[in-house]
Structure 1
Amino acid sequence: MRVLAAGDNFVGPDLLETAVRSQVDAPEVGRLKLPWPVEPFGPVGGVEEASGTEQQVIEAAEGAEVCVTQMAPFTERVFDAVPSLQLVAVSRGGPVNVDLAAATRAGVSVTYAPGRNAAAAAEYAVGMILAAMRRIPDSDSELKRGEWRGDFYAYPEAGIELEGSTVGLVGYGAIGSRVARVLRAFGAEVLVADPYTDPDKLRADGVEPVGLEEMLPRCSVVSLHARLTPETKHLLDADRLALLPEGAVLVNTARGGLLDYRPLSGLLRDGKLGALALDVYDEEPPPPDWPLHGAPNLITTPHLAGATRQTAHRAAEIVAAEVGRYARGEPAAHLANPDVLGSET
């Protein structure tokens, strides 16, 4: 079996190869190293959030039966040029770098890795919530400039506690459910807006199921954890942002497209938003003329929520396990294009 390990600077080709060799006897493994995250991902040949070029993948995948990757673009052009492919295993929560329709037409199974960064992203989201509520980055940067901001202890500038606060979570998947458990341990009341989760399960977990419009006015903190789909694009638009109470904290560590970024600068400058913490953006990286540059009470990080070494190892192990199942003739655990099972190809 020839396998292409198309890694990058996070889930490297070496990690992928080692993981595959632990599952399959004596595979022939080729390597390709893509530039992400040193260079941002972007659309490539009709797929989203990919790294590298179609030609790089075509050349590296020649004769490969299987590819394990995180960011390589698998487009119609790639599938047409590499007819030997049978499996593409993507080490991400969703295979957004793969044209699933083209893969299905080519008879290629595509798998993904749900939950691979759930612990990392949940921990990061809670850290962003605490940093925003207690103004940790502001006080740190001021002291590093030589300013002892004792006025941050004054009542008008003081932060708020999680204990006793009402926190709203938009989305209750692998990440949102972990965030909820941590917040409840802090003593927060947790509301969840997620129409795809059974309300009885939410209640059993000690959180309250609510509609989004009902949730927003009740929360001192809102954190986003939904997947980005056409349905959730700009889920928090200007009208819904206006429902937040004065001084609320908003955190987005999920996907930039969930949030309409246009009103945010004005909401921060007017004090309608007490703080905004962002790890994801409508355009990555934000351009030099980004309206939020210089806005008060803003915390920004460069899409790092899932960036832990454990995530990288876990991602490699999940895709390698799929290769092992394929080699043994077993069904895939996380098949993204089940229609391929009925493909004549």
Structure 2
Amino acid sequence: MTTFRAFVTEKVGEKEYSSSIQNKNITDLPEGDVLVKVAYSSLNYKDALSALGKPGVTKNYPHTPGIDAAGVVVSSNTSDFKEGDEVIVTSYDLGMNTWGGFSEYIQVPSGWVIPKPAGISLKESMKMGTAGLTAAMSVYKLVDKVAPADGNILVTGATGGVGSIAIAILNKLGYSVITVTGKADKVAYLKSIGAVEVLSREEFLEGNQRPLLKPKFAGVIDTVGGEFLATAIKSTNPLGVVTCCGNASSFDLPINVFPFILRGVSLIGIDSQNFPRAERIVVWENIAKDWLPNTLDEITEEVDLDGLKAKIDTIIKGQLSGRILVKL
């Protein structure tokens, strides 16, 4: 019987959780159409919440987090995949209430599995992961409506995984990117991955109580929500496009209708968890063909399962920049 290692979080008290690396058997895995030997995963904020037992992500413990996985098919009950296929599995319920990617094997429904496109390695796909896919989804919704010649693109939450990769993709596609960050010590990092200007939070939010602000941005990729998203919308050019994919600042949106009815600004939500599979395949193909950032190595740090705990603490404290690749 095949045994393997997995990162397991257990409930040990009323509000107390503990994580450890445990040996598991294939028979421990949930039912699924496709068995995958995982080569790489990545660490996302949702994974950290799940590993710490925070409410709203995972309901039942013991649990193996990890909303990302890339690896090789071991067996499949469907004709869509065969042994030896290299595949990517991200989001849906992976690592939330279903056994996740912080494990040397996963077993999942075939509808969650994406064939890895040529032009990208398994390792590169997980350097991107859900954060990179979310960034690419945001770019995908932006590029058809906003061209590089139309003006600057704003990226908020710039030092996070989604923000960092969005900057890098936009830069590669020829866009001029302005960012917002509360971390003064990360200005050099943001410019190294493609930002032409870095605004402080105070500078960006100045005067944001007004119903409209001076138009500055042809498009926006917002990752934090709240007053940052509202300010970005008020500062968007006529017929500009704003994408929204996060709520780290707040899930409330203190906005009025003027940017929409006086400037024709479009607000597009990005749901990376349930993004349609057909479009998901297109976005991965775009990443593999033209969108893979040149600065991906600068954005990414690699750890193994044993190094996860320390990085989980770092991401919860808001001290993480870029991406964490998990090598299985």
Q: Normalised by the size of structure 1, how large is the TM-score?
A: 0.44
Structure showing greater radius of gyration is: 1
Q: Normalised by the size of structure 2, how large is the TM-score?
A: 0.45
Structure number with higher strand proportion: 2
